[in-house]
A = this chain, B = another copy of it.
């Protein structure tokens, strides 16, 4: 069966392998040998090593844009243990199948896409002669992804499992705090913008100008539509490309200048709320 016939001729690939070593190239070599016609799209390989939460959030952000096909995601500190390896269809569009470890990495994206369809535990690990049991991207996930590209049905990859039983992922959600809203930094992007775990509608009632309580400081921030609207010296709160609120400066790194990191708590409040001195 050709890759094209099955409707799965693309493998979207995310990992924490980095690109300094040959890991990614070796996985792609395996894919190329087992599913010659499949095209690989690198989502990113620079998830911080072993950071399942960051990998899951990255995959969730990419999810609405993923091509029908296989999504292979590997951030897998438990490789070699008895954590399950799984393949899970997207319920609304079974042409899209996620393959990876069952450790919370896949679920945020699956749920963002509307929920989990059929799921199986992967059964067939390859064993290159002499090699250790520490590289499932090469020995387990890529062979499974290749099979899905060449027309193998999901259920031929291993025994069915209950999709409701998958290990859940990080799902931070905002909580009321005084007159405001406590949330956290989900992600610092390359430009230093700090994405918050809150959408614009959740904070709408707090007004166009808000007070942000960050670790160690308070700042006033202004709701803007684009980075370029942020005046020098001003802190912006922008609806970012994923529909979340992000703390941003114009052409400078908000994370660096405000000392923000993923996981930090941020409280958004009315600009005239009680609660200490404000800067700016």
Contacts and interface: CB of A to CB of B under 8 A. Distances in A.
A189 B41 contact: no
Number of this chain's copies in the assembly equals 3
Nearest to A130: B243
Interface string A6-37: 00001010101111111111101110110000
Interface of A: 10, 12, 14, 16-26, 28-30, 32-33, 39, 41-46, 49-50, 58-59, 61-62, 64-67, 77-81, 128-135, 138-139, 187, 189-192, 199, 225-229, 238-243, 250-251
B26 A62 contact: yes
B32 A44 contact: no
Nearest to A44: B22
A70 to B, nearest CB: 13
A274 to B, nearest CB: 31
A138 B240 CA distance: 13
A63 B44 CA distance: 24
A128 B244 CA distance: 13
Contacts of A228: 77-81
A190 B74 CA distance: 14
17 contacts: A14-B25, A18-B190, A19-B19, A19-B46, A22-B62, A25-B62, A26-B62, A28-B41, A32-B41, A64-B128, A77-B251, A79-B228, A131-B243, A133-B225, A134-B226, A134-B238, A138-B241
Contacts of A132: 225-226, 238-241, 243
A66 B241 contact: no
A21 B50 contact: no
A108 to B, nearest CB: 13
A15 to B, nearest CB: 10
Contacts of A39: 32
Contact of A42 (B25, B192, B239): B25
A226 B61 CA distance: 31
Contacts of A42: 19, 24-25, 28
A227 B77 contact: yes
Contacts of A59: 22
Contact of A227 (B33, B58, B80, B139): B80
Contacts of A226: 79-81, 132-134
A131 B77 contact: no
A90 to B, nearest CB: 15
Nearest to A66: B29
A191 B23 CA distance: 12
Contacts of A50: 191, 251
